[in-house]
Structure 1
Amino acid sequence: MTTSHAPFRDRHHAGRVLAEQLESHRNKAGLLVLALPRGGVAVGFEVARALRAPMDIFVVRKLGLPGNEEYAIGAIASGGVCVMNSLANEVMGPEALSKVIARERAELERRELLYRRKRPAVPVRGRHVIVVDDGLATGSTMRAAVQAIRKQHPAYLTVAAPVGAQDTTESLRDVADEVVCVVALSPFRAVSLWYQDFPQASDDEVCSLLEEAHRQRELDPPPAVL
């Protein structure tokens, strides 16, 4: 989708703008950027590069309502975390809900294998973690990610996105230590409206950016974890 009046040219530009809001974290020992695939990876790549931090992925899958997949009824994340909104049981029966969860869990596992390419996840324990996505609409995906990451005992957890709904960003303060959102609005329509160029991110793009982030980490190692 292309929107000429949107403030962000694309996800890379949005990531650079977001990084400016996170400048106080630059060069911190133990800093780690976790990007949510697919859309959050380009944003997270620019944040990690600007802050001199390693980047890794954290795979989360939105649970969409059958026939209206953009309507999120919940989300699942690595580590077995499942977050459901209050309407999930009202709009779907148990059998239909189980099918959606099974389908999305299979896709989550596929992405983990494809994106990591046998590289282990970067350890989270004791680190300052910045979790990045390209936008915060309902927040169910980010909430699932935060709850799963908490199980790995980070020292501090920041949620960061270029744009989001005001009520969503406020609600995420209940589960994160810090929420940074460049543009938080109410009412909020769609993440895509805030990008001039907002194509669906591909698996190839995610893999390419992860390879580049890995190369940069080897050439310019970030400050060590204390």
Structure 2
Amino acid sequence: VQRCFYDGRSDGYTPVFIQANSVQNLTVANCVITRGFHGANFSRCPDLLIRNCVWVNNQINHFYIHNLVPEIATIRNNLIADCIPAKIRNPLIGCLNIESIREAQNCYFVRTSEEKRALYSFHRYEGDPVAKQVNYADFLKYTKLPRTSFFANPAFRAFPDLLRFKNPPDVNDASDNRYLEETAEMGKQATEIEHKHVKGKYLPLEFADFFATHPDCRKNDIGLQPEQF
């Protein structure tokens, strides 16, 4: 699956871009996925590869991987931006077994500090049922993977920056709800600034709007590969 532009911008919920079940050696590459209810769901897809895609402003999360531990899924060289402001507590990516995930050379573009953003959730660890949401540092502790990804504004054309929270919640801290005072107004602003909803219409978006120009993205082949278009 490559060079697909999933534009789910609307006033309601939109279906997932990909619903894959028991597909071996599936590769998703050079796609833009925005404003889906979930961006994608992958169930029992061994040797899954998600690379050089842009995931931005999906509603619940970007994707969920329901693989067993030996069914490895690799997430690399993607530009993974935040979801819509109202879902700041939701992890960007979910999975069943964290041990099935291999992650490398991604650029994360989020509305909070790196420490306060839950990136991954998982429901089993070492065979035991758990309910974990972790930031990038804790994700690396659980997976024992090296740190090769970074947090930055990729400087693409679609919009200059993400709207950011002044009082974002901590990961797994349900007691701090100050962010709720910001979400309603931020959601309205995001509709115009990030979703390009102007005078009752969504302005067109194209692949070139999401080409990363940040030097580290260019150097490390992160995000869409312009030569593929």
Q: Please confirm whether the aligned pair reaches a TM-score higher than 0.5, indicating the same fold.
A: no
Specify which structure has the higher proportion of strand.
2
Structure with higher RCO (Cα < 8 A, 6+ apart): 1
| TM-score (norm: length of structure 2) | 0.28
More helix by share: 1
